[in-house]
Amino acid sequence: MGLRTEEFDYELPKELIAQVPEKERYASRLLVLRRQNGSVEHRTFTDIAAYLREGDLLVLNDTKVLSARLKGRKPTGGHVGLLLVEKIDEHRWSCLVDGAKKASDKLDVEIGDVRACLERKGQFWNVDFPDASADEVMARYGTMPLPHYIKRGENGKGILDAERYQTVYAEKQGSIAAPTAGLHFTEELLDRISMMGVTVVKITLHIGVGTFFLVKKEHVEEHRMHREYFSVQRDIIELLRDARATGGRILAVGTSAVRTLETLSGRKHNGPVNGAGNGTLQGYTDLFIHPGYRFMAVDGMVTNFHLPRSTPLLLVCAFAGKENIFEAYRQGMALSYRFYSYGDAMLIL
């Protein structure tokens, strides 16, 4: 029958869900897990350099989070919430909508002074901004799409989030969630790592609902990932091959980077990987990594502590073993580690 989704559930005290980032990015704690024997060490994030060595290749995801949450006003005066999830064209996006009547298939709303036309498309909606580009609407009225478990009340919304819910190396806009493993790095720390002889490279995967949605099927294998866009420079593929050939390790920062690298290894992706004509490989991936998957591209990863029944939790369980991960989580809870997006980090070797 395969793996039951309930096996990847756990209870987390609410007080361990990080509501705000640490004052300094590097101040997070770091749990180091060695997957061969399950041993655990407890350090601070700046200690990560001690676990890297010359010849390693550290892979970052340089996606940038969009101001993708919008609040619309219905003709009746009521409100709807929109989360833009995938671009269709300059004026239209696929989105999730909260607050629309179940019987409604079409709805016109106003976002500030901009008209928006909504049309239901299965579990998603399409939103059309006839009089403005979607980018303009997000720039004027959008807010950071913080996860639902960050609950500060109206007075606490927006605190530092425009800066701190982005990595310091974020460049390419397109995500609806941050690649949170990268939030701990500073430019100074990355420079120090580079000076050690570690090659630091950037790839792109725009995090969408594929990572966002929890697994709700009874059995893990029944879950289907929604596709997410990625792009990688061709010369990075050569660097990956060179590092492997010379005994260096490939360490991915975040599950999004892991999925991109594993997609490029040829295991599975949604549609062909195309050349963009500028030395870039690009495409969409719906790769769902869960226990039983055989990793081809990654030797280690930096990650955060993930939600129960989430696809990132299943990925790290596939990489390090479910018992190892759950024991590390138990230790983290006992020592009051901070969990989820603004929480502490884990290094799996």
Segment 36-51, tens digit of pLDDT:
999 999 999 999 999 9
Is pLDDT above 50 for 268? no
Q: Considering only residues 141 and 151, tell me which one the structure prediction assigns the higher pLDDT.
A: 141
* Burial class of residue 238 (count of CB atoms within 10 Å of its CB; 0-12, 13-18, 19+): exposed
pLDDT digits (tens, 9 = 90+) for 5-36: 999 999 999 999 999 999 999 999 999 999 99
User: Span 50-67, mean pLDDT?
Assistant: 97
Is pLDDT above 60 for 86? yes
pLDDT digits (tens, 9 = 90+) for 239-253: 999 998 999 999 999
Dist. CA 323–CA 343, nearest whole Å:
21
- From 55-69, 197-211, 272-286, 297-311, the region with the lowest mean pLDDT: 272-286
**What pLDDT score does 269 carry?**
46
- From 110-119, 141-150, 151-160, the region with the lowest mean pLDDT: 151-160
Largest distance between two CA atoms of the chain: 65
- From 13-22, 164-173, 267-276, 322-331, the region with the lowest mean pLDDT: 267-276
Contacts within 8 Å (CB) and 24+ apart, 133-136:
133/90, 133/91, 134/84, 134/87, 134/90, 134/91, 134/92, 134/93, 135/90
**What pLDDT score does 160 carry?**
86
- Average pLDDT across the chain, whole number: 93
Is pLDDT above 60 for 147? yes
Is pLDDT above 70 for 89? yes
The pTM (predicted TM-score) of the whole model is 0.93
Q: Kindly state the percentage of the chain with pLDDT values over 70.
A: 94
pLDDT digits (tens, 9 = 90+) for 317-342: 999 999 999 999 999 999 999 999 99
Determine contact, residues 68/81, Cβ cutoff 8 Å: no
Dist. CA 178–CA 207, nearest whole Å:
7
Domains for the chain: give ranges and CATH numbers: 5-65+161-348 (3.40.1780.10), 69-142 (2.40.10.240)
Q: Quick count: other Cβ atoms within 10 Å of Cβ 99?
A: 14
**What pLDDT score does 154 carry?**
56
Dist. CA 124–CA 153, nearest whole Å:
27
Distance of CA 17 to the CA centre of its chain: 17
